[in-house]
């Protein structure tokens, strides 16, 4: 085993994540390593704090987690076929890549075979814009108004900029300039001009964003919420703690679930956000 194999799993994860320069990739790796640690703690019947770096690098443990994830046993949100919906090829590829990069960083590469990602067929530009206008104008029953507004704004940016969730999720309010004669949004350090539909969707969402976050600034130690995408409803209480309020930064999985629900309710089929992008699929998008 490599050096430091006896140190805590948490310390090993923090060291690995700190070496990743991109926030989107770092967030994705963090999500899957947290899932891995939670599964392993349950498997070993011990608290997560008791896990070591060696536990995470054990090939048998890695294989057990990947097998469980593929069967849908680690799913935290109900999928299209229920709470045990098998994981997609794309999410399994991301999990496997996470293990490969984590183990290589710590000098014990697992070199696992990465499943081939599967990409859904793209909408044509005309289909994407027509669908966006449809979603912008009609809120389906069964979805919160704020959630609808946030998801439509996210889709509008995907259509306009060609970027997927990996690049859109880290955006902040500073990445929008909606009051210019030619409004624009900054994604991955590049400014993109916005059409009137996208500008309208983002203006509506930023107004809701302000309403959701203004009520609890003091609870956030006086700091504003600069992240563009925030939660639209209170979270669930965990480990004896009060439920977190709405208006906190939204996780990638929260945005994905809301997008899937909106497209299913409005269109009758769960389109992926990448299907609205005119560019080629992005890694992790």
26 vs 83, residue with greater confidence: 26
Determine the pLDDT at residue 9. Answer: 94
272 and 134 share one domain: yes
Is pLDDT above 60 for 115?
yes
Closest by Cα among 138, 178, 140 to 160: 178
Residue 220 has pLDDT above 80, yes or no: no
User: In this predicted structure, what is the pLDDT of residue 216?
Assistant: 55
**Is it the case that residue 80 has pLDDT exceeding 70?**
no
As a whole number, the mean pLDDT across the chain is 87
Q: Per-residue pLDDT for 118 more than 80? A: no
Asked whether the predicted pLDDT for residue 279 surpasses 70, the reply is no
- The whole-number average pLDDT for the span 147-163 is 97
Q: What is the CA radius of gyration of the chain?
A: 20
pLDDT band of 21, cuts 50, 70, 90: confident
Same domain, 145 and 228: yes
Residues 93 and 159 in one domain: no
Confidence of residue 223 (pLDDT cuts 50, 70, 90): very low
* Distance between start and end Cα atoms, the chain: 34
Where is pLDDT greater, at 245 or 193?
Answer: 193
* pTM of this prediction exceeds 0.85: no
pLDDT value at residue 169: 93
Determine contact, residues 96/115, Cβ cutoff 8 Å: yes
Q: Kindly state whether residues 68 and 134 are assigned to the same domain.
A: no
**Comparison of pLDDT for 128 and 2, the residue scoring more:** 128
The CA-CA-CA angle for residues 52, 56, 57, to 5°, reads 110
pLDDT at 43 over 90: yes
pLDDT of residue 78: 53
94 and 133: one domain? no
**What pLDDT sits at residue 15?**
95
CATH number of the domain to which 267 belongs = 1.10.443
Report the number of distinct structural domains present in the chain.
2
In a domain, 281, yes or no: no
Q: What is the pLDDT of residues 50-73, one digit of tens each?
A: 999 999 999 999 999 999 999 988
Question: Is 62 among the domain residues?
Answer: yes
Q: Is residue 223 part of a domain?
A: yes
- The pLDDT score that the predictor gives to residue 280 is 52
Range of the domain at 38: 9-105
Residues 208 and 84 occupy one common structural domain: no
Name the least confident of 24-28, 49-53, 96-100: 24-28
């Amino acid at each position: 085993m490599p050096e430091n194999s006896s140190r805590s799993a948490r310390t090993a994860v923090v060291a690995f994540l700190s070496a990743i320069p991109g926030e989107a990739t770092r967030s994705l790796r963090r999500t899957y390593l947290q899932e891995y640690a939670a599964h392993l703690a349950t498997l070993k019947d011990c608290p997560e704090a008791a896990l070591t770096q060696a536990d995470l690098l054990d090939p048998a443990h890695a294989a057990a987690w990947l097998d469980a994830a593929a069967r849908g046993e680690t799913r935290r949100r109900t999928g299209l076929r229920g709470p045990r919906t098998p994981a997609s090829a794309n999410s399994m590829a991301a999990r496997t890549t996470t293990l490969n990069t984590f183990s290589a960083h710590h000098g014990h590469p697992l070199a696992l075979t990465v499943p081939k990602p599967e990409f859904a067929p793209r909408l044509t530009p005309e289909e994407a814009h027509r669908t966006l206008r449809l979603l912008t104008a009609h809120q389906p029953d069964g979805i919160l108004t704020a959630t609808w507004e946030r998801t439509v704004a996210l889709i509008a940016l995907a259509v306009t900029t060609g970027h997927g969730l990996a690049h859109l999720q880290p955006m902040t309010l500073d990445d929008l300039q909606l009051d210019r004669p030619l409004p624009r949004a900054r994604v991955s350090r590049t400014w993109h001009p916005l059409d009137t539909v996208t500008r309208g969707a983002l203006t509506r969402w930023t107004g809701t964003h302000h309403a959701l976050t203004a009520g609890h600034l003091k609870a956030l130690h006086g700091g504003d919420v600069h992240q563009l995408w925030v939660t639209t409803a209170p979270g669930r209480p965990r480990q004896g703690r009060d439920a977190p309020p709405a208006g906190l930064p939204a996780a990638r999985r929260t945005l994905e679930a809301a997008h899937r629900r909106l497209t299913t309710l409005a269109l009758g089929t769960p389109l992926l956000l990448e299907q609205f992008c005119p560019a080629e699929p992005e890694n992790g998008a």
